[in-house]
Amino acid sequence: MTDTNDSRPTPEDWRALAEKETKGRDLTWNTPEGFAIKPLYTAEDHADWDPGLPGFAPFTRGVKASMYAGRPWTIRQYAGFSTAEESNAFYRRNLAAGQKGLSVAFDLATHRGYDSDHSRVVGDVGKAGVAIDTVADMQILFDEIPLDTMSVSMTMNGAVIPVLAFYIVAAERQGVSQDKLAGTIQNDILKEFMVRNTYIYPPEPSMRIISDIIGYTSANMPKFNSISISGYHMHEAGATAVQELAFTIADGKEYAKRAMATGLDIDAFAGRLSFFFGIGMNFFMEIAKLRAARTLWYEVMDALGAKSERSKMLRTHCQTSGVSLQEQDPYNNVMRTTIEAMAATLGGTQSLHTNALDEAIALPTDFSARIARNTQLVLQEESGITNVVDPLGGSHYIEALTSKLVEDARALMATVDEAGGMTAYVGTGGPKAEIERAAAEKQTMIDQAKTVIVGVNKYQPAEEELIDTLEVDNAAVRKGQIERLAKVRAERDEGACRAALAALTEGCKEGGNVLELAGNAAREDATLGEISSAMEEVFGRHDATPKPVSGVYASAYEFDRRWEQVCDGVLAVERRLGRRPRMMVAKMGQDGHDRGANVIASAFSDMGFEVVSGPLFQTPEEACAMALENGVDVVGCSSLAAGHKTLIPEIIRLLREAGRPDIKVTAGGVIPPQDYDFLREAGVSGIYGPGSNVVECAADILTMLGHNMPPLDSVIDEAAE
């Protein structure tokens, strides 16, 4: 018999009680995605949403029926630094301590297709990853690591052809045939044009390279994932969860369509496509994001005609956020990484990298790398997370979030389709501009302390604690690489090498498979730079100049007193100079990460500065020439990849030699506090690390330019009066 006198509280009852407790205060939280997050969710919020069951379409709850209850995720720590010898020793120590797979980080010279002896990479060799110039380097990198049993992931996009060719040939020299190789090559060039910028060739030949790799690996390397479609770098550049989802899945769709256009059957390669997502601090949003990604990919592949269920399963690697790590109060980063790792695992990732606590400052030490790795081991072995499949499935909040993310990402993907697909949409500059705007909006929220970062804009420690950091001797690494390059070139059959390189160039013209031809060149010990140049002869090299967004900071700070003081200061300097103060934002070296540089350019422009955005990948000589040509007052050097001790003193020296010591040079980005004195002694006028308030940076620079800027305390005093 049904009880018609149900006395259980209703949502209306809850709402009335909550309003009474909070005296009517609105508890809604607005996310960067534009979601109005309610304080309570019920079944009504996802009544029309069916996530299904794990292991079954649309795979929202996981691609395996048993998920971690059957097998936990793979602990795949991303690492590489200095020389192949040092990286190899680091890998072997980590594998002995419980790591299950390798994920290789290459230095920026390698990413950009330059040998270590090239003049453009003086400050980059071995600094943000391992230097790989030849097959010999790759052999050393994997020495005593059996490539027939070890899964290897390689984050490489620009120089993907020589790196993958070196890996194949290094395995051959180890006695391992191609068909036994397991792992992943990132090979995702579209996101490079949007955010990361470690490209070499223009979009169309880059897309051909991807198709050739998919075709070659499908035929010869059945265990190897031919592409890892990356939302991670969009996440790090400031993308919202909706943007990361929509653009990443749309990238995957574009790659699949390009491969199909070459005659490949979708089910012959789709099962080897994988994904890569960034995991940030919005805990439940990140869990829902991974569930939404699997749903969206199923829909895309089903629509493209895939028949195999495996083709429709989105499998993903995840990495905890680098941009959430802070230089200030750095031990808090351990907690941040743990929270993000939990989100990735509760969201159902297949493998995971956890960042080390010191990566906001420098490359990780053995100590910090051990904590990062052990974070995963503790989650696997002690937390109970692996005991239940999709433990958050059925959560009203999670299901509602997942449904909303799917809905909004579908709408953005429709915009991409209307533009003619992702390649065409990237060509318009639309995705890059949208992500840069989102990044600037996020930074204003941090600067205004509306988004709290513990230890940075709230609960700051009384004094900063310096931590030990790893420093790579860039000059020593480069010297060793140049010596090995000379040895390889001296001992190879030069005629055979040149013939193989010529065949590669011809294949680029005539439609040969570039990976197959590059493999032939690698067997003749052609270098990474030589293989890249042989392709560049036909494809050309892509260049781009940043075009920062405008208006974000001006809108966010419309009624802010400190903002008004800075803008007034800019006007005062303009009256004195007879023109607006002029600042050049410089990106020297081969580091393409430009989020910080773009945020600074956008904010300073909104404040009234005349901003000159230098092109990416400048040498100090080129940056100096540009600064002189534009008559700038300040050069703001953005650094993320540890080239600051080489490149920034060099531009200061060049400006002095040119008779312009009056041009101020500042440094911003990932710079260890231990390097501050070195930079100041070299002539750097201001240093702004992660977490620096952009408005206060501008106030400081106005002071450098001779303006009597009121101190920040005066704003507080005025507000108190």
Among the options 78, 199, 201, 425, which is catalytic?
78
293, 311, 401, 686 from 390: Cα distances, Å:
15, 21, 15, 49
Q: Is 591 a catalytic residue?
A: yes
Give me the catalytic one of 312, 587, 644, 645. 587
Sequence-distant (≥ 6) Cβ neighbours of residue 171 within 8 angstroms:
142, 147, 148, 177, 178, 180, 181
Residue pair 163/156 in contact (Cβ under 8 Å)? The answer is yes
Can you point out the beta strands (E) in 407-550?
none
397 is an active site residue: no
Pairing state of beta strands 224-225 and 227-230?
Answer: unpaired
d(CA 147, CA 632): 53
- The catalytic position among 232, 255, 425, 553 is 232
CA distance 322 to 325: 5
d(CA 140, CA 161): 19
User: Is residue 314 helix, strand or coil?
Assistant: coil
Active-site residue, 644 included = no
State whether residue 49 is helix, strand or coil.
Answer: coil
Contacts with 424 (C-beta within 8 Å, 6 or more apart), sequence order = none
**Separation of alpha carbons 421 and 251, rounded Å:** 8
Q: Is the dihedral of CA 122, 127, 132, 137 positive or negative?
A: positive
Report residue 582: phi and psi, to 5°. Answer: -115, 125
Q: Which two tokens stand for residue 213?
A: 């790799």
* Residue 176 CA: distances (Å) to CA of 59, 85, 179, 449: 35, 21, 8, 55
Q: To which H or E segment does residue 102 belong? A: strand 101-104
Question: How far is residue 480's CA from residue 488's CA, in Å, rounded to a whole number?
Answer: 12
Q: Which two tokens stand for residue 597?
A: 């540089």
Enumerate the H helices of 419-471 as residue ranges: 422-427, 430-447
Q: How many residues does the chain have?
A: 721
Distance CA 699, CA 664 (A): 14
- What's the CA gap between 447 and 454, in Å, rounded? 13
- Annotated catalytic, 235? no
Distance between CA atoms of 381 and 319, rounded to whole angstroms? 19
Among this protein's residues, is 216 annotated catalytic? no
Task: Specify whether the CB–CB gap between 273 and 248 falls below 8 A.
Answer: no
Is 232 annotated in the active site? Answer: yes
Pairing of strands 686-688, 224-225: unpaired
Q: Which helix (H) or strand (E) holds 410?
A: helix 396-418
Q: Which token pair is 181?
A: 């190789």
Catalytic residue among 46, 111, 191, 233: 233
Q: In what order do the strands lie in the sheet with 351-353?
A: 224-225, 183-185, 152-154, 101-104, 74-79, 351-353, 316-320, 273-279, 227-230
* Distance (Å, whole) CA 505 – CA 496: 14
Q: From the candidates 447, 591, 594, 606, which is the catalytic residue? A: 591
Q: Which residues are catalytic?
A: 78, 232-233, 587, 591, 593
